[in-house]
A and B are shown apart, each in its own frame.
Chain A
């Protein structure tokens, strides 16, 4: 701080606290609602948590609501499988593709590089119908591979690894060759351990990305046993003229937010690193 102005310091903290409260307000109300009975929510909405926390969460996890055939427990598991599948799949295929592009000279190298670059420009949202058709033709509807594979090609991860590999000193590669090691040995003994921090940063970003996918699972899952938790919540809201079971919906929403939020809070350093690095 340049100079000492007590009122300005006070104002600074005041703005930050008010800002935080506004940001946290929707979450707080959701939490409160998840501890009440449906009756309390619809009639007199108290602003303090009620006594039905355990009951609501257990009911959500083991039964779900009547409109959706799957429990939140199952759907959370589906979300987890999808998120981890996307995360590890993306990291794995990007790592080896970047390795090939940086450490080998081969025909069509630049062509492949540009092909990967193009994926950056084609998010699922702009090619909804034809991608759905491909998935349907490959019999990927209502399956884990269908949830995962179409989302694992990533130009950003490939670029990040490429960028990192370019900074690895050539001497390390030479040393391995003098020792008689080949490309596979170099990759596993030197490059992979050195990429640890980049992988950790990507892990956080990609896990959130995977967990929060919505449009694609919405398109390809019609069987409740493959619903992800976000699709499930939306289905719980679709009650038409009936009364939405808000206490269960809110408990499910809290549950759906917990894994990615925990990842951000506990891996904050990697998260910040990943955010600033993956944004090119």
Chain B
């Protein structure tokens, strides 16, 4: 795609792109290349000199049980967040697509949590489940279930999953609703005339037509769970108890800022970059296919 009519000016275009390019070079390209460079170095304990160690940092990471555990936790965490947020959103979107009366009211009331910051969402859920003041923890105790996510890893992981999925429901809802409304009514009517029940119509007509949206949202939700949930982990569990909620992004922060293991943190950054790049590529390849349909 190229414009037929363009302006001729030798200097102006460079001035126009300059701010964007300078910001990109200073805050994106340079730090990223530093991460790459650091990832092959080993600093001495005093930070005075560093030596080239090749891929030793990467080798260390992949033989480190804590890191392998973190990969496992991240995988469980992100798939659970995607599954919970998407299934709830799909149910609500299918219902909202059916109603005629009060449809906009429902929509408004379901989409606003997207505006709540992940860390604020974390505080809300932390408060509900806090072992000392939490109202849900209190009623669970009455029912005979001891809730203490500061001690029990499984409960902690459950809590951060719920807190992270909660605001993502709104996001998925919006896209599912848009996808549902784009399905021609005549398809559904034809199926109804053939005698298909509402449930059957959903699984044989609506859901297959919605599958592009589903794939798109899976990628977006996993990117969200990988990278945007730092605040949730930081506010609720700080990676604990006993590393049960130590997702990769939190570990990079922890190792880099609190333990000051520069080489290891940089190598982890590089691995995360590879993950984002692959996810972005998947997303774009898929988008391109959607355009060709």
Contacts and interface: CB of A to CB of B under 8 A. Distances in A.
Nearest to A13: B99
Nearest to B33: A130
Interface string A122-135: 11011111111110
Interface string B9-37: 11011101101110111111111101100
Given A112-B17, A131-B27, A166-B1, A122 B32 contact: yes
A42 interface: yes
Interface residue tally on B, bucketed by range: 35 or more
Most buried by B among A15, A99, A128: A128
Contacts of B178: 276
B24 A119 contact: yes
B138 interface: yes
B252 A128 contact: yes
B53 interface: no
B38 A153 contact: no
A253 interface: yes
B133 A45 contact: yes
Nearest to B232: A214
A105 B9 CA distance: 8
Contacts of A96: 16-17, 19-20
B169 A128 contact: no
A177 to B, nearest CB: 8
Interface string A218-231: 11000000000010
Contacts of A208: 114-115
Central interface residue in A126, A150, A170, by most chain B CB within 10 Å: A126
B108 A214 contact: no
B6 interface: yes
A43 to B, nearest CB: 9
Contact of A101 (B17, B127, B276): B17
Interface in A87-109: 92-94, 96-97, 99-106, 109
A170 B92 CA distance: 44
B27 A149 contact: yes
B34 A121 contact: no
A155 to B, nearest CB: 9
Interface string A1-19: 1110100110011011001
A118 to B, nearest CB: 7
Nearest to A172: B5
Contacts of A81: none
A4 B270 CA distance: 57
Given A214-B230, A257-B120, A23 B113 contact: yes
Contacts of A193: none
Interface string A46-88: 0100000000000000000000000000000000000000000
A264 B111 contact: yes
A218 B224 CA distance: 19
Contacts of A122: 28, 32, 273, 276
A29 interface: yes
Contacts of B135: 29, 45, 47
Which of B95, B96, B220, B276 has most chain A Cβ within 10 Å? B95
B13 A19 contact: no
A268 interface: yes
B112 interface: yes
A30 interface: yes
A27 B124 CA distance: 7
Contacts of B183: none
Given A8-B198, A94-B20, A150 B27 contact: yes
Interface stretch (B61-69, B70-78, B149-157, B261-269): B261-269
B239 to A, nearest CB: 14
Looking at A41, A152, A219, A230, which has the most chain B CB atoms within 10 Å of its CB?
A: A230
A272 B107 CA distance: 11
A97 B16 contact: yes
B100 interface: yes
A214 B231 contact: yes
B147 interface: no
B273 A126 contact: yes
Closest A-B pairs by Cβ, 9 of them: A212-B117, A130-B31, A100-B16, A130-B34, A104-B13, A260-B115, A26-B124, A97-B20, A214-B231
Interface of B: 1, 3-10, 12-14, 16-17, 19-21, 23-32, 34-35, 38, 88, 91-92, 95-96, 98-100, 106, 108-121, 123-128, 132-133, 135, 138, 166, 169-171, 174-175, 178, 185, 188-189, 192, 198, 201, 216, 220, 227-228, 230-231, 234-235, 249, 252-253, 256-257, 262, 265-266, 269, 272-273, 276-277, 280, 283-284, 287
16 contacts: A3-B192, A23-B166, A29-B135, A30-B124, A97-B21, A100-B14, A106-B14, A121-B280, A129-B38, A133-B31, A149-B27, A165-B3, A212-B119, A260-B117, A275-B174, A276-B175
Given A130-B32, A214-B118, 20 more contacts: A12-B98, A19-B95, A41-B133, A93-B20, A116-B20, A118-B28, A127-B35, A128-B256, A130-B35, A130-B269, A165-B3, A174-B5, A183-B12, A186-B7, A214-B234, A230-B231, A234-B119, A253-B120, A261-B115, A280-B287
